[in-house]
Structure formats: C-alpha cells, structure tokens
C-alpha cells in the first residue's frame, strides 16, 4: 500500500512540475492575445483589437487566481515587482481600450505594446 502512495505522490509531483515548466500559462496566453491586439490595431480593426485586449485581461486575472501574490498595503517601489507589472499592464490595457473606442489606433497600439512588455516582465520575475 505504501508503494502505491509513493508512486502516486511522485507522479503527481512530476506532473505539476512538468505543467509549470513546459505547459502554457495564462501569462503566455495574455502575451499572445496582446500580440494579436497589436496586429488588429495596425490593421485598423478596433473591434477585434478590443476583444483581444479583453481576453488578455481575462488571462491575467486567471493567472492571478492560480498563482496569487501578496498585495502590499503600502506601496514600496520594487518590493513586489509582479504586482507592479500586473497593475501597469492592466492600466495600459485600459488606456488602449479607451483609445480604440475613440478610433485612435496608433495610441492604442503603443499602449498595447507597453502592456505586452509589462506582462513579459511579470512572467520573467517568477
């Protein structure tokens, strides 16, 4: 009976490591969606770009639910880089959506690029 327990424990540990290392994360999906949003903004398709930005935000929220970080009550710059990049990325996505609704594609594209940069940096701070 103990052998089965140890085998099960070992396999489940291996599976969790494999998915965290090799599996796609919500952060990666957010980056892909932001890349699609940038391309849509370049093409002048604000509806598609807004949908991609909203999907990217959804993936960031799911990432935060699966891998929560401690939010500081008092903000100290550099103390929690994941939180800082996350908040900056969402802020940039909100700005991009506002510009897209006004039809300002170049401004929206720049905000989407900035959001993508913040998500990439957040993923690298793991």
Q: Where are the domains of the chain?
A: 25-124
pLDDT of 69 over the 80 cut: no
Banded model confidence at residue 17, pLDDT cuts 50, 70, 90:
very low
Q: What is the pLDDT of residue 27?
A: 86
Burial class (CB in 10 A: 0-12, 13-18, 19+), 68: exposed
**HSE-CB of 18 using CA atoms within 13 angstroms:** 6
Banded model confidence at residue 77, pLDDT cuts 50, 70, 90:
confident
Per-chain mean pLDDT for the chain: 81
**Domain made up of 25-124: CATH architecture:** Up-down Bundle (1.20)
Pair 123, 27: CB distance under 8 Å:
yes
């Amino acid at each position: 009976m103990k052998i089965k327990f140890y085998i099960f424990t070992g396999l489940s540990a291996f599976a969790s490591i494999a998915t965290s290392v090799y599996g796609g994360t919500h952060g990666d999906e957010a980056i892909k969606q932001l890349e699609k949003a940038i391309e849509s903004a370049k093409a002048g398709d604000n509806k598609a770009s807004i949908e991609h930005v909203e999907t990217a935000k959804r993936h960031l929220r799911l990432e935060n639910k699966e891998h929560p970080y401690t939010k500081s009550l008092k903000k100290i710059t550099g103390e929690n880089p994941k939180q800082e990049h996350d908040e900056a990325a969402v802020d940039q996505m909100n700005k991009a959506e506002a510009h897209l609704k006004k039809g300002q594609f170049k401004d929206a594209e720049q905000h989407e690029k900035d959001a993508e940069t913040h998500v990439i940096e957040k993923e690298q701070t793991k």
